[in-house]
A and B are shown apart, each in its own frame.
Chain A
Amino acid sequence: MVDNKKKTGWDVHEMARKVALDIPNGAYVNLGIGIPELVSGLVPEGREVIYHTENGLLGMGPAPEPGKENPELINAGKKCVTAVPGACYFHHADSFTMIRGKHIDICVLGALQVSESGDLANWSTGEPGAIPAVGGAMDLVAGVKTIYVISKHVTKTGMPKIVKQCTYPLTGKGVVDRIYTDLAIIDVAGEGLFVKELAPGVSFEYLQGQTEARLNQ
């Protein structure tokens, strides 16, 4: 039998797994809201990673069993979580000392746009009337040592998210180190964007066609 469902690209869980594979043992990691949250459940066997949530917890564990939720134990997305043995709580100034003071190793964030020089836009589309909300994103990109972006390669309407220059208001300039999409893993280096890995069924030419910025092989 011929398999007609030829697989193209990665689903969000495979994207999150790719990120998890790149997080080394012992890392302190902050995960953004949404797709980044999937990364926490996918750490390879034998590695120990400590998750930071900026509302005051190091050692964030998975969601609690139903019925065991505590509204005073939540993550940055205001969802109920757990604290692992060895966890600690702290106040906001300490939490952002960890972030801005370059104590957190890796942050995984979603994106509206990433530019070829690693600029990130992920907090506002700048539409008139929209209520701006920034949270901790600008602090994270200003202070965390390594910034990974995990995002669909294009928008729901098919517009490229990896662009020459961001048209949305910036979160930070030149801050992104690596981009994980459903089509590829792309490194941001000083000279531009370099494709590190192509997803199954994706050619470099196809990828370039889905990307406004110029890619290097």
Chain B
Amino acid sequence: MINKIVPSPAEAVADIFDGALVMVSGFGEAGSPIELLHALIDHGAKDLTVVSNNTGSGHVGLAALIGNRQVKKMVCSFPRTTNSKVFPELFHRGEIELELVPQGTLAERIRAGGAGIPAFFTPTGVNTPLAEGKETRVFNGQTFVLEHAIRADFSLVKCRMADRYGNLVYNKTARNFGPVMCTAAEKTIVQAAKIVELGGIDPEAVVTPGIFVNRVVGVKDPMDESTLVAEDRRYPW
């Protein structure tokens, strides 16, 4: 029997090793797998490189992982938001690296990683500082820049519903980077608000096919990051 369901977030992240490259789903708080991130804080793996669109808010979730000094480098498109405090402080002190990537290039580098494409040419960023030092090539009179795929050791992804095969359905704009990150990791670890029987998800409506998923953990009532930030909660509690 195939059963990708694991009993707890702690068991789901137990083999994440020091120095791993970890992708984390989410656009701001929408789709950010807070419970998996907190399990990773408890677990303690360090020197991580994290690929995620932002750097988290307040002192919970991704921001707490960074604040706990487990991340040596962030790869993201927009490292500051209204409530991001932890990353800016460490960055100003020179204690965390940043690789800034245009958002669409970030999505495509992850997609390419999952699709077995090592690199690709894109028009995004040409003639800007973000293309400096990179190989360029002209196609049909237009200049494109070479960007390389990203593959992760682990992806941490939040979704709304899953089955034991790892088929996933997301919630509204919390889908964002989840589906591409699922494809691009050696081990994809998913937290799902609801786990259903096989057949409980219409095959026509599956967003991430289970082949891309290794582990699913049920997190029935995931925490709401903006509420935690408003209450100035800090993890570890």
Q: Mark A residues whose CB is within 8 Å of B.
A: 53-57, 70-74, 78, 83, 89-93, 95-96, 99-100, 129, 131-139, 142-143, 169-173
* Contact in complex: A74, B173 (CB < 8 Å): yes
* Contact in complex: B128, A92 (CB < 8 Å): no
Q: B residues within 8 A CB of A143? A: 104, 123-124
Q: Mark B residues whose CB is within 8 Å of A.
A: 27-31, 77-82, 87-88, 91-92, 98, 100-108, 110-111, 122-130, 170-180, 207, 224-226
* Contact in complex: A72, B171 (CB < 8 Å): yes
* Bound complex: CA A131 to CA B6 (Å): 39
Contact status of A91 and B124, CB under 8 A, knowing A133-B78, A134-B77: no
Contact status of A138 and B102, CB under 8 A, knowing A71-B226, A78-B81: yes
* Across the A-B interface, the 4 shortest Cβ-Cβ residue pairs: A96-B104, A139-B104, A92-B107, A72-B174
CB distance from B17 to the nearest CB of A (A): 27
Contact status of A169 and B128, CB under 8 A, knowing A55-B30, A93-B108: yes
Can you list 25 residue pairs at the A/B interface with Cβ under 8 Å? A53-B173, A54-B103, A56-B176, A70-B172, A72-B174, A78-B28, A78-B29, A89-B172, A91-B177, A92-B106, A96-B103, A96-B104, A96-B107, A134-B78, A134-B101, A135-B77, A136-B77, A137-B102, A138-B102, A138-B125, A139-B102, A142-B123, A143-B123, A143-B124, A172-B127
Q: Which of B28, B103, B127 is in CB contact (< 8 Å) with A170?
A: B127
CB distance from A146 to the nearest CB of B (A): 16
Q: Which of B77, B78, B104, B224 is in CB contact (< 8 Å) with A71?
A: B224
* Bound complex: CA A103 to CA B82 (Å): 31
Q: B residues within 8 A CB of A55? A: 27, 30, 173, 176
Q: A residues within 8 A CB of B175? A: 56, 89-91
* Contact in complex: B80, A131 (CB < 8 Å): yes
* Bound complex: CA A91 to CA B163 (Å): 20
- Of B27, B82, B129, chain A has the most CB atoms within 10 Å of the CB of B27
Q: A residues within 8 A CB of B107? A: 91-93, 95-96
CB distance from B32 to the nearest CB of A (A): 10
Q: B residues within 8 A CB of A56? A: 27, 173, 175-176
